[in-house]
Every structure is written in structure tokens, then in C-alpha cells.
């Protein structure tokens, strides 16, 4: 059996086991494939097997793979740090949801461009639940305020929150990040902000998906466990201009 297909079946098993253990329905947990550095040929293997939700971190990579993937039905999300000068480019590639909205100025510029194109866009607010300097995301203290601000921008549909848990740490420290995201979600729901939905919690990656499911994840973002190790360190994607 092809390695990618084999890995996908292992992931599916891990998801259903974790859902079982926390009394959740596996159909409430979406599997998103993080495809950074993965070739379009390898991505196609997953798409053809029915795993059709994928996401890139960089507009450049999205662009490079777009033509090769266009004929294969799939849904594109965007999970990387987005610079305002890339917005126009990004919107060319049928992005259904941006998980990494973390600044009001970025939201405003997205809104302006979406208005111009007469479009709307689903977004998740990225929260820095690990308090690591190097990570993108709004600080947990500011999440509610920024959601209120973004809710005023009619083209942006806030659907939930995203976070990257603490890496290679003990389970309880990872869990604390995911719990915090859930707490923030509950706080925002309680604030009943018009134009804001808080259904999605995008959290959990190859190494911590079980904890994320136990804490309420609705979207898992999985790369390594499906496609294998990447040659670039993740810092290349996660803190490119943060020193």
C-alpha cells in the first residue's frame, strides 16, 4: 500500500479512537492536511483517496501547486502567516477559510479587498495560547476585543479560533493551550457578538491530535504524520519575520 494512504488510515484510526475515548462523534472532527513542502503529486494521492481539505502556509506554494491540483476536487484553507501585500494574490486561489487572522490591520485590508471583489470569507482568529514570543497569534487577553472589531467588517465571517499548541512538551502543558482556546471560545460565545460564529476550534497536529480532540477540536491540521518529515524547520513558517 502507498505510504501516504497507509498513514492516512493510521490517522483515521487515531482520530476515531480519540473520539471514542472522549465520547465525540468523528464526523464532528475535520481532518485538514497541512501540505507545506509537499509536492502536488503527493497531495493528489490524498485528494484522490477522498481527503480533500488541504492548506498551505505560503501564498507562493499555493500558487506553484494550483494548476496541478485544479482539476481534482478539493477545498483550500490557509494556515500561514499572511502579509498584507499578499492578500490580493491569496484571494486568487479559492481560499475557503483563513485560520491565521491575528491582526486588525490585516483584517481591514482583507475586508477592503473582499469588498472590491464583492466576496466574503470565513476566518478563524489565531490565538497565541502558548505565550511563546516566537509564535504568531493574538494574545489570549486580546482575543475577545479583536473579534468584536473584526465582527464590524461585513465581508469577514468569524467562524472560530485557531492555535498551535506548545511543541514537544509534556501533555499537560499542551492540554493547557487547547483548554485556554476553548475557554476563550466560551467567553466569546457568551458575549453574543453579532455576525460572529464560534463553531470551529482549529487545534491539534500530528503529535497532539488526541489531546486536541479531548479538548474539543473541530479541525485537526496534520502534516508530518501523513506526508513524512519536512526538510525545513517549522520556524521557517511560524516566525519568519519575528527574529
Ligand X SMILES: *Cc1c(COP(=O)(O)O)cnc(C)c1O
Site of interaction with ligand X (CB under 6 A)? 34, 36, 57, 79, 164, 205-207, 221-225, 234, 237
In the bound state with ligand X, the residue whose beta carbon lies nearer, of 3 and 117, is 3
What is the three-class DSSP state of 59?
helix
Cell 466574503 belongs to which residue?
120
Q: Hey, which bits of 53-146 come out as E strands?
A: 53-56, 75-78, 95-101, 121-126
Considering the complex, what minimum distance in angstroms separates the CB of residue 221 from ligand X?
A: 4
Considering the complex, what minimum distance in angstroms separates the CB of residue 191 from ligand X?
A: 26
In the bound state with ligand X, the residue whose beta carbon lies nearer, of 4 and 225, is 225
In the bound state with ligand X, the residue whose beta carbon lies nearer, of 194 and 233, is 233
12's CB contacts (< 8 A; 6+ apart) are 31
Q: Using alpha carbons only, give the angle 166, 167, 168 rounded to the nearest 5 degrees.
A: 125
In the bound state with ligand X, the residue whose beta carbon lies nearer, of 178 and 237, is 237
Q: Hey, which bits of the chain come out as E strands?
A: 30-34, 53-56, 75-78, 95-101, 121-126, 156-162, 196-202, 219-222
Considering the complex, what minimum distance in angstroms separates the CB of residue 36 from ligand X?
A: 5
Considering the complex, what minimum distance in angstroms separates the CB of residue 87 from ligand X?
A: 18
Distances (CA, A) of 36 to 46, 52, 92: 14, 15, 18
In the bound state with ligand X, the residue whose beta carbon lies nearer, of 155 and 238, is 238
In the bound state with ligand X, the residue whose beta carbon lies nearer, of 155 and 163, is 163
214's CB contacts (< 8 A; 6+ apart) are 18, 21, 22, 175
Considering the complex, what minimum distance in angstroms separates the CB of residue 238 from ligand X?
A: 6
Q: Under a CB-based contact definition with an 8 Å cutoff, are residues 7 and 13 in contact?
A: no
Q: Are strands 121-126 and 53-56 parallel, antiparallel or unpaired?
A: unpaired
Considering the complex, what minimum distance in angstroms separates the CB of residue 56 from ligand X?
A: 9
Amino acid at each position: 500500500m502507498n505510504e501516504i494512504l497507509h498513514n492516512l488510515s493510521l490517522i483515521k484510526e487515531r482520530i476515531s479512537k480519540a473520539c471514542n475515548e472522549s465520547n465525540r462523534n468523528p464526523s464532528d472532527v475535520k481532518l485538514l492536511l497541512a501540505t507545506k513542502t509537499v509536492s502536488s503529486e503527493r497531495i493528489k494521492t490524498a485528494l484522490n483517496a477522498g481527503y480533500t481539505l488541504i492548506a498551505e502556509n505560503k501564498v507562493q506554494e499555493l500558487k506553484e501547486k494550483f494548476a496541478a491540483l485544479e482539476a481534482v476536487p478539493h477545498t483550500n484553507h490557509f494556515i500561514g502567516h499572511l502579509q498584507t501585500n499578499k492578500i490580493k494574490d491569496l484571494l486568487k486561489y479559492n481560499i475557503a477559510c483563513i485560520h491565521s487572522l491575528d491582526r486588525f490591520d490585516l483584517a481591514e485590508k482583507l475586508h477592503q479587498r473582499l469588498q472590491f471583489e464583492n466576496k466574503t470569507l470565513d476566518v478563524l482568529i489565531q490565538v497565541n495560547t502558548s505565550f511563546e514570543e516566537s509564535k504568531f497569534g493574538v494574545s489570549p487577553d486580546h482575543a475577545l476585543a479583536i473579534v468584536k472589531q473584526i465582527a464590524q467588517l461585513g465581508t469577514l465571517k468569524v467562524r472560530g479560533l485557531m492555535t498551535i499548541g506548545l511543541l514537544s512538551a509534556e501533555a499537560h502543558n499542551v492540554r493547557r493551550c487547547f483548554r485556554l482556546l476553548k475557554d476563550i471560545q466560551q467567553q466569546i460565545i457568551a458575549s453574543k457578538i453579532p455576525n460572529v460564529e464560534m463553531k470551529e476550534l482549529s487545534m491539534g497536529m500530528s503529535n497532539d491530535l488526541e489531546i486536541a480532540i479531548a479538548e474539543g477540536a473541530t479541525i485537526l491540521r496534520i502534516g508530518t504524520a501523513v506526508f513524512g518529515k519536512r526538510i525545513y524547520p517549522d520556524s521557517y513558517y511560524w516566525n519568519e519575520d519575528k527574529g
